[in-house]
Each structure stands twice: as structure tokens, then as C-alpha cells.
Amino acid sequence: MPNSSTSPTLGVGMVGYAFMGAAHSQGWRTVGRAFDLPLSPVMAAVCGRDQAKVDAAADRLGWSATETDWRALITRDDVQLVDICSPGDSHAEIAIAALEAGKHVLCEKPLANTVAEAEAMVAAAGAARERGQIAMVGFNYRRVPALALARELVARGRIGELRHVRAVYLQDWGADPELKLVWRLRKELAGSGALGDLGAHVVDLAQHLTGELITGVSAYTETFVKERPLPDGSGVGQVTVDDAALFTGRLASGALASFEVSRFATGRKNALRIELNGSDGSLAFDLERLNELEFYDNTQPATEGGFRRILVTEPDHPFLEGWWPPGHGLGYEHTFAHQARDLVHGIAAGTQPAPSFADGLQVQRVLAAIEESAEKNAVHTPVQAAE
């Protein structure tokens, strides 16, 4: 008899069903098929404002029920975990309410649109933690196997004393002259542009991979195309977010960090590239080749030294126990299954999986310092210290 699994279930309720909702759904759908889990996730209900649309999404993505009000979703008995995939300006309210309703919470990045919101969320998560609830923020790229391996190598001291981090996250959809004034280009809805969307990822990764915090930054931001046609064809409107941001800074150890994010890097589709240089070695990664990690081991003889391309698909690589034989690569969406795996384990064990809401807040503070520096002519601006 199949399906006689006796693991207890974990009902998931998801808010939002656009790009991120689809990606999270794929994670929930597959995580239990790839990994042994202490709890079986059940895709209980999905929430969206428009009944017809949310019904269609549930049917397509495989959710058993729908809600049109997130307040109803977070009180359902069959939901133990609320997965928030709605736009950033809604995160704080939903997450805090869900935590107060006794649910575990997974919240997509960025944690919030402002530091104040993020601080309130951290407070709510802290209170919930004492009641045994788990809150996690969704920086999924931490769980690309190649980046998880990079973190392991750094933690094991393989690159020695850190000198440099350089990271870019480059896309090019902004370079399309026909692009309309979509919501992502309006500050009141999106909070910021490339900075919050792409910059949040590279800030989190730089800190996560190095195990260090960014202590201060200098920044420029720019909006290259200042007017766009309105979506409804009624004329043109102002672009009120950044198209690109450059920022540099220092890490706690004195290492230097350099960042660039842009939606105008023609030909770069999803180029999140990050490189770390240390006294004993270096690591380099490119999301456009996500199954690979480059590693330079400076302890080898100079005549044999070179960046080696590790195909991160071996059974002993992080997360690979659930997938295919060596060389059979994974894709973007697998990161969501990995995130789900670790969250389910955390919930079952009552231990906090990284990244926590506090980690998300810290990223938010870096973003705030970047914006402040950009407004103040690029002057060095300290990042507010975590308490």
C-alpha cells in the first residue's frame, strides 16, 4: 500500500501566486519527493484577492483550497505555515499577524520595504520564537548547492583571511525601450528598483558567504530612463525607482566589498556573480552557470595553480543527496525545495533555520545605508549595528 506515510503533515498556506508563488509551489510540490522529511508538507490553501484568478492559480499550481483574504488564510486550521509571496509592502502586516495567529512563517525577500517594518517583524518573530514558532526569510540563493559549498569552504578556512568580495547582479530587461511603467518602476509600490530587487540578494550573499557584516557603504544610484509609457496607454509617467546602483564598502574584518546591480546590463540575463579573494584561496560563482563553483587553492604549487571548475553535482555536495547522478545539473527552482527542506527540519526540531528575520533586517539596514549614501553624494555611511 502506497501513501501510507505516517509522518505528520505540515499544512502550508501561501499568499500570492505570481512568479514567486509559482516557484514556492514547485518547492513544496517536490521537496517531499526528493528528501526524507520529518513532516509531510501539504499544499493546503493559496490566497489572492481575485477569486477567479486565485482559483485558476490553485488549479494550475496544485493547491487544495483558496482564500481571497489573507486574514482568513492565516486562521485556517489546516495551515500551520504561512508562506508570504506577495509584494514587499504587504510583508510586515501579514507576517506579524500570522505569527500572532500562532503560525510559522516563511517570508520572501526583501523582508520589508523599510527598516521600521523589518524591526517590527523581528520583534514579532522573537515573541513567536518563545512560543515555539519559526520565522524564516526567503533568500533562496543561499541554497544553490554551489553557494552552499562556497560557504562550507569559507567556514573551513580554505580561503584564509578575507581581502575582497565583489558581486554584481546584472539583468537587462530595463534596456527594452518599449517597457511600460510597470509597478516595479514605481517607488510607492516597489520600495526601490534594482537596489531592493537585486541588491538585497548580493548583500545577503556577501554577508552569508563571508560570515561577516558590512559596516559601511558608499553608493551611487541612477535612473537612466526617467519616463515610460503608462500601461493603460494614457500617456507617460515618471520612473521613481533606481535602474542601477553601485556601492562599495567595508566588511567587519577590513576586507573591501564592491557591488553593482542593474537592469540595464544588456546581454546579462540573470548574472549574479560573486567572487571572494582570501589569503589562501578564492571562490567565484555565476548564477547563469549555477551548477558550477570556481575555486583557487593558493596552497598548491604555483605551477599547478588555477581556478578549478567544480561541478557541484556530486552526492556529497550540499542538497545533492536528493537529486540525480553526478553531472546531471539542477535548475533555479531547486533552491526553493532546498529552502523548504531546511525550514521543515527547523519546524520539526524547533530550531531556527537561517536566514532569520533578524538576518533580513540586517540586509534592510545595509540597503538603507546605501540609499542614504546615494543621497549624500556617495559619502561613506555606516550601517546601523544590529543590537
Residues 6+ apart with CB under 8 A from 167: 202, 205, 206, 257, 258, 259, 260, 272, 273, 274, 275
Sign of CA dihedral 15, 20, 21, 24: negative
Measuring CA to CA, how many Å separate 34 from each of 82, 164, 263, 316? Answer: 22, 36, 34, 15
Residue 106 or 150 having the CB closest to a second copy:
150
* Nearest-approach distance from CB 89 to a second copy, in angstroms: 21
List the x/- string, 104-143, binding to a second copy by CB under 8 A. Answer: ----------------------------------------
Q: Scanning residues 238 to 257, which ones bind a second copy (CB under 8 A)?
A: 244, 246-250, 254, 256
The window from 102-110, 206-214, 265-273, 355-363 that contacts a second copy (CB under 8 A) reads: 265-273
Single residue of 8, 18, 49, 59 touching a second copy by CB under 8 A: 59
Residues 6+ apart with CB under 8 A from 316: none
Contact, 134 vs 345, CB < 8 A?
no
Residue 77 or 130 having the CB closest to a second copy:
77
Q: Is 221 helix (H, G, I), strand (E, B) or coil?
A: strand
Q: Scanning residues 294 to 313, which ones bind a second copy (CB under 8 A)?
A: 294-298, 302-311, 313
Q: Does the protein bind a second copy through residue 183 (CB under 8 A)?
A: no
Contact, 224 vs 244, CB < 8 A?
yes
Residue 2 or 387 having the CB closest to a second copy:
2
Single residue of 91, 143, 166, 228 touching a second copy by CB under 8 A: 166
Single residue of 86, 113, 291, 339 touching a second copy by CB under 8 A: 291
Residue 235 or 267 having the CB closest to a second copy:
267
Residue 126 or 160 having the CB closest to a second copy:
160
Q: Does the protein bind a second copy through residue 168 (CB under 8 A)?
A: yes
**For residue 84, which of 40, 125, 143, 53 has the smallest C-alpha distance?**
125
**For residue 215, which of 244, 262, 248, 169 has the smallest C-alpha distance?**
248
Q: Does the protein bind a second copy through residue 178 (CB under 8 A)?
A: no
* Nearest-approach distance from CB 25 to a second copy, in angstroms: 7
Residue 128 or 368 having the CB closest to a second copy:
368
Before 355, cis peptide (omega within 30)?
yes
* Nearest-approach distance from CB 290 to a second copy, in angstroms: 6
Order of strands across the sheet with 281-286? 292-297, 281-286, 271-278, 162-170, 256-262, 244-251, 214-222, 381-382
- What whole-number distance in Å separates Cα of residue 272 and Cα of residue 152? 19
* Nearest-approach distance from CB 313 to a second copy, in angstroms: 6
* Nearest-approach distance from CB 120 to a second copy, in angstroms: 31
Q: How many residues does the chain have?
A: 387
